[in-house]
């Protein structure tokens, strides 16, 4: 089973990366030892990862568990748990057609293990052959019962050999542009691409 459509790009507040990388998360100077276990079948996938690091001269262990399984009608549920007090539940509604367009609807809930610092994300992505536009609203619930709203948009347009992308995050509550990035890409041939991120 492949990953749900709405979690293929992690972190969401970034553009898709190329298939190559100079450094990976297992680079020896960053983590002393990493163990990964993956189990996959037609309807579910489980990924377990544990890292051994040295912080201030003492070894520390961090781990995470990712689990997702399919539901009827191409829907799925995704869960991510970390030992460092992190929980994420994510529902992907699959691809639906409305107004002659294809949409991917999804929602997620993040919190710590005490169910504090809760944030909710509601998203709708419009998929087409040359343009992919993803919008989400993030609502953060603070301990003083106040809410913080942020709207995100990530749009990538492809035209022949060129790619253009824009990513923006606007803090609705504080009326502030939190993040903005641009992406320019050019397909040199079938095996090589040039990309500039600003």
Q: Give domain limits for the chain.
A: 9-197
What pLDDT score does 17 carry?
A: 61
Q: Which residues of 117-129 are buried (b: 16+ CB within 10 A; e: fewer)?
A: eebebebbbbeee
Nearest-angstrom CA–CA distance, 55 and 44: 35
Alpha-carbon distance values, 36 to 28, 48, 64, 164 (Å): 15, 6, 10, 35
CATH class for the domain made up of 9-197 = mainly beta
> For position 30, what pLDDT does the model report?
56
pTM above 0.85, yes or no: no
Give a three-class secondary structure readout of 7-40: HCCCCCCCCCCCCCCCCCCCCCCCCCEEEEEEEE
- Quick one: pLDDT at residue 176? 94
Sorted by sequence, the CB contacts under 8 Å of residue 94 that are 6+ apart come out as 5, 73, 74, 75, 76, 104
1 closest CA partner among 40, 32, 33: 40
Q: Which residue has the tokens 């639906």?
A: 96
Tell me the pLDDT of the chain (198 aa) as tens digits.
Answer: 567 778 776 666 777 665 544 444 544 555 677 889 999 888 888 999 988 887 777 778 888 899 888 999 889 999 999 887 889 999 999 888 888 889 999 999 999 888 888 999 999 999 888 999 999 999 999 777 788 999 999 999 999 999 999 999 999 999 999 989 999 999 998 888 888 888
Give burial (CB, 10 Å; 0-12/13-18/19+) of 76.
Answer: buried
Say how far residue 132 (Cα) sits from the centre of its chain.
15
pLDDT for 26: 47
The span from the CA of 136 to the CA of 150, in Å, is 8
- Three-state SS at 124: strand
The whole-angstrom separation of Cα 78 and Cα 30 is: 27
């Amino acid at each position: 089973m492949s990953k749900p459509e709405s979690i293929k790009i992690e972190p969401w507040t970034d553009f898709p990366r190329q298939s190559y990388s100079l450094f990976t998360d297992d680079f020896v100077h960053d983590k002393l030892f990493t163990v990964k276990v993956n189990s996959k079948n037609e309807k579910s996938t489980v990924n377990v990862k544990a890292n051994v690091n040295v912080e201030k001269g003492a070894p520390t262990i961090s781990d995470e568990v990712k689990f997702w399984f399919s539901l009827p009608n191409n829907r799925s549920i995704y869960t991510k748990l970390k030992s460092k007090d992190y929980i994420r539940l994510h529902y992907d509604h699959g691809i639906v057609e409305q107004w002659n367009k294809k949409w991917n609807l999804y929602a997620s809930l993040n919190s710590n293990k005490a169910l504090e610092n809760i944030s909710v994300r509601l998203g709708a992505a419009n998929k087409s052959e040359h343009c992919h536009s993803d919008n989400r609203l993030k609502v953060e619930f603070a301990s003083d019962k106040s809410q913080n709203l942020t709207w995100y948009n990530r749009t990538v347009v492809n035209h022949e050999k060129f790619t253009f992308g824009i990513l923006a995050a606007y803090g609705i509550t504080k009326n502030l542009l939190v993040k903005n990035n641009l992406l320019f890409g050019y397909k040199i041939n079938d095996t090589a691409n040039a990309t500039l991120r600003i």
